[in-house]
Structure 1
Amino acid sequence: MTTAVTRPHTVTARIDDADAVDSAPAPAVYTVTVYMNTHDDNSDGYKPHHPLAAATHPDGSPLRLEFNASDRIHSHKAAASATYDVGNHQRADDRGQTWPGETLRSVSVGDVIKITGPGHWIIHLRVDPVGFTPVPEPAHLTALAGTRPARHR
């Protein structure tokens, strides 16, 4: 005896290479915020009780630098070094953004660099006379800093 069996319809789809490119993941990015040390003795380096203020554009909007993960930017320390270069008018970030030097002082010893890595991990690095040292997340953040303090005459 023979029994009739129904088969579900089979659909075959062709995937074009162009579709695959459009859905490719975005490149891994290091996103950076610089916290400027606003303490009177900031030249002696960062101490946990020092107040910090996030760097901003002249209009007051947050200043965020971005660096694509690459052979050059492959670690949090490489991203910090690239940030230091941007913050000292040596280059731009990977979006072409430069440091707003007319209103914001350069990145210096005593500042703290916050880096969010490609895996969404976060590290805070103190700017030292030579290199960078990990520090706990700063507890004393003040209002955003976008302008230079007035100079005393």
Structure 2
Amino acid sequence: MTTAVTRPYTVSARIKPADTAPTAPGVYTATVYVNTAPNSFNGYQHHHPLAEATRPDGSPLRLVFHASSRITDHNAAADAAYEVGNRQSADDNGQTWPCDIRSVSVGDVIKVTGPDHWIIHLSVDRTGFSAVPEPTTLVGLPGTCATSRH
């Protein structure tokens, strides 16, 4: 014997989420590593010792750039960090390059963290940047950068 069972009607619907406030624009963060090897102006080599640029109080210097028509990718963020590091501008938070650190130059490395938290390390070349492996030889700055050999 079979028994008939009535099932309630089911309705499927696509529910669109309510509009939320616009999200903050993507942010690129740049950290500069100053090459402390003798004659490093010939370019970065993976065995070269690097020193992280810091603020006068010793805390890490993180340059911040918001994604915009000017900052569209990691190369543009590295270029903006290079400008700050050569005292030509400030980052998007108004930070300028510390006066006790030499300018960013060929042989240095710029670490860029992108909006989706991806990280790339770029060496400063004579023209532009080249991707390099994450540096492994990190050292402290000897006194001030004015005493480093470049």
Name the TM tier (shorter chain): 0.7 to 0.9
Q: Contact conserved, 1:103 with 1:146, CA < 8 A, in 2?
A: no
Query: Structure 2: any 5+ residue segments left out of the alignment?
Result: 1-17
Kindly tell me: are residues 135 and 62 of structure 1, through their superposed partners in 2, closer, same or farther at Cα, counting changes over 3 Å?
A: same
Q: Contact conserved, 1:54 with 1:145, CA < 8 A, in 2?
A: no
Q: TM-score, normalised by structure 2?
A: 0.81
Q: Contact conserved, 1:32 with 1:66, CA < 8 A, in 2?
A: yes
- SS of the aligned residue for 1:66 comes to strand
**What's 2:104 paired with?**
107
Q: Contact conserved, 2:142 with 2:148, CA < 8 A, in 1?
A: no
- The one-character-per-residue Cα deviations of 1:3-35 (angstroms, maximum 9, x if unpaired) are xxxxxxxxxxxx8x9xx44xx422210001000
Q: Contact conserved, 1:60 with 1:146, CA < 8 A, in 2?
A: no
- The one-character-per-residue Cα deviations of 1:31-85 (angstroms, maximum 9, x if unpaired) are 0100000001211110010000100011111000000001100011101111110
**What's 1:46 paired with?**
44
% identical equivalent positions: 62
Q: CA deviation at 1:143?
A: 2.3
Aligned pair 1:125/2:122, yes or no? Answer: yes
Amino acid at match of 2:104: V
- SS of the aligned residue for 2:140 comes to strand
Query: Structure 1: any 5+ residue segments left out of the alignment?
Result: 1-14
After TM superposition, the structure 1 = structure 2 runs for residues 1-150 of structure 1, keeping only pairs within 5 Å, are 20-21=20-21, 24-100=22-98, 102-143=99-140, 147-150=144-147
Whole-Å separation in 1 of the counterparts to 2:148 and 2:108: 20
Q: Contact conserved, 1:66 with 1:93, CA < 8 A, in 2?
A: yes
Q: Which runs of 4+ in 1 moved over 3 A?
A: 149-152
Q: Contact conserved, 1:50 with 1:140, CA < 8 A, in 2?
A: yes
Amino acid at match of 1:36: V
RMSD, aligned α-carbons: 2.1
Question: In the comparison of the two structures, how many residue pairs are matched?
Answer: 132
- SS of the aligned residue for 2:33 comes to strand
- SS of the aligned residue for 1:43 comes to helix
Q: Contact conserved, 2:100 with 2:146, CA < 8 A, in 1?
A: no
Whole-Å separation in 2 of the counterparts to 1:129 and 1:136: 19
